[in-house]
């Protein structure tokens, strides 16, 4: 009976346990059933570091039937990479195969569409100055391209925004391509109050990248809300479209935990549970979404590149599937052309329309060595020893006494790639072409390789450690340290572009010049104005099968005409003769003209920096957009930076902060307008450079204008011989010593033809030194026996410095009253004298005339003529006429003749003659 009771008790206990298990399973099933209508989250951590797990309904307002809150894990809790936090059990669980987890981070590496949480916002543009319509940018945005995001290609300002809340301090990192400095690119962070967080310029402004290369950028984040901004904005002043910024692999750390694992994207897989990353599928295999393994392709008719999501059919072989190379010289000094398939080979040979691999060419003599090298009867070329030289065809010779070799690289023959050059292939979409040669040697030229797709950049690079001037030139008198010259031509059946880039001191790569579409064979020269380590890069990208050749690369260390760049003695003597002061003008002058507006209304200015005489510390400095903003303040003050241009005259494009969405004014597109000083003269032409005085109205010819002539050897499509510039220095005492710069009103951009730039620099420092000939004296009125003497400048005053105006002087003088009294006395004395003389001569003249008449009568035998009937009137007696003298006044001429010819005779008048004496 006891055993039966015991057995019954055991059966009842087992039944109870079964029912309890069924109840627990039912409760769990009910919980997961309800979880489809809700999700679990943690509350914010309180002051004690605790938090609660709560259920949040999927449908708002459905608050019935939810489980009670449960005390959550500690706030410092986090899962490892490859794990996720299973919220129902609040335990870390490994990710299943085919998925991955970062533990305390999230990653965005698939861009078939814009991921959740990301948004693209275009900033409204400025008002068009030529109309009232506001130009919008509604069609501008960041565009998903599968493996990466692509920014806008226009001049609109577009921001990519993502907000994340971090439980602890973390970081954000991403990969990007930024190849075009015509597009501005910045990354910054705001908090939940829309306040920009403290961030250095180095982390805010992204550096330019080489074409096809991806750069990684990492910034630390604070706990709390972080709003991430990737912002771009272009400046288009022509028809050329900018190259976009590319963005991929955005990873954010600091989210403390992730509640789910991310499935592997197509083309990748994770084979084991607990993976933190997904691996790309090997070549000729593919995978779908969330794959734990890759599926092989049928390699007989199909192929797949590494990381493919599907297999592709193999095409028939064509000419673009193979390339030719020249073999290295053998022991007999011969080489031959051979053809090879591009690896990996994806084409089919034995199908209709397929091309076959051409046979190898015949063995032929190797080309000679390049200048500066010799072969010494061997199959390889070696550099000439120090102090010797060779043209490549003859043995090295010793330089003559008193001479030294001109150091440099000159490549004319391309049998093998030189040791200091390398070639590679990059692809924008990150597809692999690393095992392909970007460029292939071809005897007397080097040509671009085949590549694998239209997005490939075919790269050729040469590194120059520095430049060395001959010892005969102890220091450069100009700004030229070296130059690179190359000949090229492009033959393209569709769109293609060749870039020439440089990287100074391994800081950032900038595009020096680029050429699009088919170009005839031509030569290009770039002058190096800084003695630094530099890498020159040629990158070629095509849309269809091209044939691009680079025939000659000639890098010359020394500049043979360096002395011609110095200021000649005639310049200094001429300025001395003009008496002009140049020291105050030694600093750099700046001119900003504009504003100008692009087609969409974006405002920009052209800023010119000019240094008349240059010098190590007085060159004009122009910086190139955001790459300079990443430098320190001290570097910017000194004019140092990755893209700092130092020269005599340079031009930058200034984009104001207003209306662009950026937080500071930006400087970009720096251009070197004058790298060498030709000379200064009052003449209008010097060394083929012509000044145009008619562009500036002349105000005074007393002091002639002095023209400073400059030259730049950088050629452009419109200036085959390079640019030139003329700075006209004009005396203007009304201006300050620093002066004022201006451009011709007919040419507001500073140039009328794009090749010669004209500037007018008016300054008082350009005026001659003042001398005593530049002022005159003014005498004041005499008052109180004293007179003031004043000295004033002769107007217009066209001199500065030198002689100064004498101070006012006071000298004794005689007043007006003294002179009046003196004049009155002299006048009275003169009047009395004249009256006395008049009376005296009148009496004397009367007697003389009487005497003269008597003499004339005596000469007629003492007989007087008979009286005429008209002399004695009727009724008159002659007695009455006795002693009467009738006097007729002689004429003035008669008097003068009488006085001149009179003779005095001593004779006695008879009494008979005295009667009836008539004067006529």
| pLDDT, mean over the chain | 75
pLDDT at 253 over 80: yes
Query: In the chain, where are the structural domains located?
Result: 42-76, 105-124+141-255, 315-366, 367-405, 409-568, 576-623+644-766, 775-812
* pLDDT recorded at residue 401: 84
Confidence band for 74, pLDDT divided at 50, 70 and 90: confident
Q: How far apart, in whole angstroms, are the C-alpha atoms of residue 275 and residue 266?
A: 16
pLDDT at 462 over 50: yes
Burial of 698 (0-12, 13-18, 19+ CB in 10 A): exposed
pLDDT at 653 over 60: yes
CA angle 658–659–662, rounded 5-degree value: 65
Our measurement of the distance from residue 219's CA atom to the centroid of its chain's CA atoms, rounded to an integer in Å, reads 29
3-state secondary structure of 715: coil
Confidence band for 558, pLDDT divided at 50, 70 and 90: very low
Q: How far apart, in whole angstroms, are the C-alpha atoms of residue 112 and residue 98?
A: 19
Asked whether this chain's domains 105-124+141-255 and 409-568 adopt the same fold, the reply is yes
Q: H helices then E strands: how many in the chain?
A: 7, 60
* pLDDT recorded at residue 562: 28
Confidence band for 176, pLDDT divided at 50, 70 and 90: very high
What is the CATH T-level fold of the domain 576-623+644-766, as seen in this structure? Answer: Cation-dependent Mannose-6-phosphate Receptor; Chain A (2.70.130)
Do residues 800 and 769 make contact, with C-beta atoms less than 8 angstroms apart? yes
Strand runs labelled E in 399-518:
408-411, 421-427, 439-441, 446-448, 456-464, 482-492, 496-504, 509-516
* pLDDT recorded at residue 314: 94
DSSP conformation letters of 202-227: HHHBPPP--TT--EEEEEEE-SEEEE
Mean pLDDT confidence for 182-198:
84
Mean pLDDT confidence for 297-324:
90
User: Is the C-alpha dihedral spanning 24, 25, 29, 32 positive or negative?
Assistant: positive
**Pairing of the two strands 769-770 and 756-763:** unpaired
Mean pLDDT confidence for 636-662:
68
For the packed helices 816-858 and 892-901, what is the interaxial angle rounded to 10 degrees?
70
Right CATH number for 105-124+141-255 from 3.40.50.360, 2.40.37.10, 2.60.120.200, 3.40.50.1980? Answer: 2.60.120.200
* pLDDT recorded at residue 456: 76
Q: How far is CA 200 from CA 157, 163, 187, 632, in A?
A: 22, 20, 11, 9
Lowest-pLDDT choice from 341-345, 453-457, 499-503: 453-457
3-state helix, strand, coil in the chain (%, to 5): 15, 35, 50
Lowest-pLDDT choice from 42-56, 214-228, 480-494, 678-692: 42-56
What is the CATH T-level fold of the domain 409-568, as seen in this structure? Answer: Jelly Rolls (2.60.120)
Q: Euclidean distance between the first and final Cα of the chain, in Å?
A: 215
DSSP conformation letters of 280-325: EPPTTEE--TT-SS-EEP-TTTEE--TTBSS-EEPPBP-GGGEEEE
Q: How far apart, in whole angstroms, are the C-alpha atoms of residue 579 and residue 682?
A: 13
Q: How far apart, in whole angstroms, are the C-alpha atoms of residue 757 and residue 371?
A: 38
In 3D space, the residue among 245, 218, 220 whose CA is nearest the CA of residue 234 turns out to be 245
Lowest-pLDDT choice from 24-28, 747-751, 835-839, 852-856: 24-28
Lowest-pLDDT choice from 531-540, 649-658, 831-840: 649-658
3-state secondary structure of 5: helix
Confidence band for 45, pLDDT divided at 50, 70 and 90: confident
Q: What is the enclosing helix (H) or strand (E) of 645?
A: strand 644-647
Mean pLDDT confidence for 158-185:
87
Q: How far apart, in whole angstroms, are the C-alpha atoms of residue 321 and residue 436?
A: 12
* pLDDT recorded at residue 903: 43
CA angle 466–472–475, rounded 5-degree value: 55
Mean pLDDT confidence for 274-299:
93
Q: How far apart, in whole angstroms, are the C-alpha atoms of residue 843 and residue 836?
A: 11
């Amino acid at each position: 009976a006891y055993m039966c009771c015991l057995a019954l008790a055991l059966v009842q206990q087992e039944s109870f346990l079964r029912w309890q298990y069924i109840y627990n399973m039912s409760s769990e099933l009910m919980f997961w059933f309800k979880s489809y209508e809700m999700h679990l989250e943690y509350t914010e951590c309180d002051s004690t570091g605790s938090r609660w797990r709560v259920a949040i309904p999927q449908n708002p307002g459905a608050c019935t039937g939810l489980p009670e809150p449960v005390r959550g894990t500690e706030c410092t809790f986090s899962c490892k990479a490859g794990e996720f936090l299973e919220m129902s059990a609040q335990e870390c669980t490994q990710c299943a195969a085919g998925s991955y987890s970062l533990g305390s981070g999230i990653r965005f590496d698939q861009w078939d569409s814009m991921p959740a949480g990301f948004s693209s916002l275009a900033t409204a543009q400025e008002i068009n100055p030529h109309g009232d319509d506001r130009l919008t940018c509604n069609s501008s945005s960041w565009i998903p391209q599968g493996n990466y995001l692509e920014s806008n290609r226009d001049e609109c300002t577009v921001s990519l925004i993502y907000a994340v809340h971090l439980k602890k301090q973390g970081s954000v990192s991403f990969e990007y391509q930024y190849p075009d400095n015509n597009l501005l690119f910045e990354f910054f962070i705001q908090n939940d109050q829309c306040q920009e967080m403290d961030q250095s310029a180095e982390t805010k402004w992204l550096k330019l990248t080489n074409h096809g290369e991806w750069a990684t950028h990492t910034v630390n984040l604070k706990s709390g809300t972080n709003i991430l901004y990737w912002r771009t904005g272009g400046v288009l002043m022509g028809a050329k479209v900018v190259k976009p910024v590319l963005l991929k692999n955005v990873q954010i750390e600091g989210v403390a935990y992730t509640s789910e694992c991310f499935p592997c994207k197509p083309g990748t897989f994770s084979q084991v549970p607990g993976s933190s990353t997904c691996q790309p599928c090997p070549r000729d295999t593919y995978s779908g979404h969330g794959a734990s393994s890759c599926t092989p392709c049928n390699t007989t008719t199909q192929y797949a590149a590494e990381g493919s999501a599907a297999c592709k059919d193999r095409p028939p072989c064509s000419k673009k599937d193979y390339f030719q190379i020249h073999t290295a010289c053998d022991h007999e000094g011969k080489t031959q052309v051979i053809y090879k398939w591009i690896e990996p080979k994806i084409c089919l040979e034995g199908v209709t329309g397929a091309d076959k691999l051409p046979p190898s060419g015949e063995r032929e003599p190797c080309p000679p060595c390049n200048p500066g090298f010799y072969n010494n009867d061997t199959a390889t070329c070696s550099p000439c020893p120090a102090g010797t030289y060779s043209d490549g065809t003859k043995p090295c010779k010793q330089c003559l006494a008193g001479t030294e070799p001109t150091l440099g690289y000159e490549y004319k023959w391309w049998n093998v790639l030189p040791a200091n050059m390398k070639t590679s292939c990059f692809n924008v979409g990150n597809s692999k072409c690393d095992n392909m040669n970007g460029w292939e040697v071809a005897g007397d030229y080097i040509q671009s390789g085949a590549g694998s797709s239209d997005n490939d950049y075919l790269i050729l690079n040469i590194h120059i450690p520095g430049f060395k001037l001959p010892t005969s030139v102890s220091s450069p008198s100009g700004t030229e340290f070296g130059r690179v010259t190359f000949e090229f031509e492009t033959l393209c059946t569709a769109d293609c572009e060749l870039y020439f880039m440089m990287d100074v001191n391994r800081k950032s790569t900038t595009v020096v010049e680029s050429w699009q579409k088919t170009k005839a064979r031509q030569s290009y020269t770039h002058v190096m104005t800084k003695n630094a380590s530099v890498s020159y890069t040629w990158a070629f990208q095509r849309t269809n099968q091209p044939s691009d050749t680079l025939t000659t690369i000639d890098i010359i260390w020394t500049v043979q005409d360096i002395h011609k760049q110095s200021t000649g003695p005639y310049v200094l003597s001429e300025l001395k003769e003009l008496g002009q002061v140049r020291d105050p003008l030694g600093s750099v002058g700046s001119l900003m003209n504009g504003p100008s507006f692009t087609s969409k209304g974006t405002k920009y200015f052209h800023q010119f920096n000019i240094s008349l005489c240059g010098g190590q510390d007085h060159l004009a400095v122009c910086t190139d957009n955001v790459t300079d903003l990443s430098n320190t303040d001290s570097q910017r003050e000194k004019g140092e930076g990755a893209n700092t241009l130092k020269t005599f005259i340079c031009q930058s494009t200034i984009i104001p902060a207003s209306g662009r969405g950026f937080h500071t004014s930006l400087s970009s597109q720096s251009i070197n307008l004058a790298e060498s000083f030709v000379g200064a003269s009052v003449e209008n032409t010097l060394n083929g450079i012509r000044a145009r005085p008619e562009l500036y109205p002349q105000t005074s010819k007393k002091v002639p204008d002095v023209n400073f002539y400059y030259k730049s050897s950088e050629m452009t499509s419109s200036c085959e011989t390079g640019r030139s510039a003329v700075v006209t220095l004009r005396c203007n005492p009304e201006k300050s010593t620093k002066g004022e710069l201006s451009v011709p009103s007919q040419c507001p951009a500073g140039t009328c033809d794009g090749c010669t730039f004209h500037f007018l620099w008016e300054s008082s420092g350009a005026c001659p030194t003042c001398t005593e000939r530049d002022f005159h004296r003014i005498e004041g009125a005499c008052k109180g026996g004293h007179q003031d003497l004043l000295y004033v400048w002769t107007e217009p005053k066209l001199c500065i410095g030198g002689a100064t105006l004498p101070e006012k002087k006071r000298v004794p003088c005689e007043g007006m009253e003294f002179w009046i009294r003196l004049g009155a006395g002299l006048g009275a004395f003169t009047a009395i004298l004249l009256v006395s003389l008049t009376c005296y001569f009148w009496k004397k003249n009367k007697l003389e005339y009487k005497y003269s008449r008597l003499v004339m009568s005596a000469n007629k035998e003492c007989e007087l003529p008979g009286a005429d009937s008209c002399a004695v009137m009727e009724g008159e007696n002659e007695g009455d006429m006795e002693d009467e003298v009738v006097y007729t006044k002689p004429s003035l001429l008669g008097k003068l003749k009488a006085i001149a010819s009179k003779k005095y005779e001593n004779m006695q008048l008879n009494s008979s003659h005295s009667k009836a004496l008539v004067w006529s």
